[in-house]
Structure 1
Amino acid sequence: MGITVAPFSHEHFQSLPPLNAAVENYHNLDGPKLVQGVFKEFFVKHGMEYTFGLALPHRHFDLKPGTRLVSYNGVSTPWPTEPGIGMQEPSPSNWSFSADGKLFPTEFRYAKGHTFHMGEREEAFVAEFKAELDRLGLGQLFGLCEYPGNDFEGSFEITRGNSNINLEPKDYPEDASGSEAAWFYSAEVLTSECKCLCHNREASHNHNGQHYQVQQ
């Protein structure tokens, strides 16, 4: 089965569920069991545990047309879709599937000299991953994110307005907890028991919650 890797789409980003809806769907479909009982083995079997992580696609706020979400130095904010003069193209860091099976980037990272290359090997894995989602009847429940590296120590991401701010481990709040939103299967990350969590302390289904990425 072939997979179309599409360019960024504002419409697709806006179609992502808000955090509470994504988490509710995750639990309704027995997500915790799938994360450890199916996809851990799946990523390792295909040799992709150092390339991709498993992600729970959602959005914390709306984007205006002509912008996309880009992370730089731990802060994600809306950037114009056209890079500034002299700046390289931000690299995709998160992807999710549309209802018709296309893979869209949903978030980006800017770092000079860094580019995520979706080659034949990665595209073949994406096709297998989509087939597994279809086999399990999961629809667009899960997507993919870029592996953060063996030295990933966790982060605590707080969403305020239209900005996601990643705190360093030394600055974690006392009560860091929430729902998991991404999973990595490399030996290094599994050993460190690093978890990526999202938590919404505001009104139910409000987009502007708090996104935690913590190491326990």
Structure 2
Amino acid sequence: MTQQLLMIEDDTRLANMVGEYLRQSGYGFTHAADGNSGLAALAASPPDLVILDLMLPDMDGLEVCRRIKGQGGEAANTAVLMLTAKGDPMDRIVGLEIGADDYLPKPFEPRELLARIRAVLRRGGEAIPSATQKSMHFGSLEIDRDARSVTVSGSLCELTSYQFDLLVAMAERSGRVLSRDQIMEAVRGRELEAFDRSIDVHMGRIRNAIELDAKNPKRILTVRGVGYVFAKQQD
């Protein structure tokens, strides 16, 4: 079944260019030139993903995102990819906090937009535990999202905030082999940490914190030449 995209963007020339490119890539594409018509189109037929510009003529794009995520039913589960002004991190941060799934600064290359759309839709199809689920348990390992704490057999593990986010991302995708790029994509928004080999350093420190024997890990395993996998088995 063809995945459907809705672009809410007042720049008709840009929307036509993006629409042609995405249709050629196999997606269904609809365009709305302002927030109200975009919300109406979404309510009538919820797409798989909304490409949302933050600068709209009738309302702020952040408000559109709030309304999308605040709706009940199928529409509330629609993924949102924001188009933000280059060099304006606050819009990006606020957008992610209110539920946007990813962002892309303008101007952008259509190929990057396509790659981000594919990544967001792929994540949307994964069986990821609900973010409202307070804790995840894997044998003696407990990850508490609310407290942002990790314990093994009741003993608190010392992790940085970024390492906690990495561990959560891995645990949510337990049993799946993830490349370094996929791991970094899962914790997007922490650009200062987004260096490929820094993942290896952080994984080593996470192992030191949660594994009984970090040199012979049982929970976070290296898949040579690919990346890492969080093992599902109970200990």
Structure with more relative contact order (C-alpha pairs < 8 Å, separation 6 or more): 1
TM-score by shorter chain over 0.5: no
Higher alpha-carbon Rg: 2
Normalised by the size of structure 1, how large is the TM-score?
Answer: 0.23
Normalised by the size of structure 2, how large is the TM-score?
Answer: 0.22
Greater helix share, structure number? 2
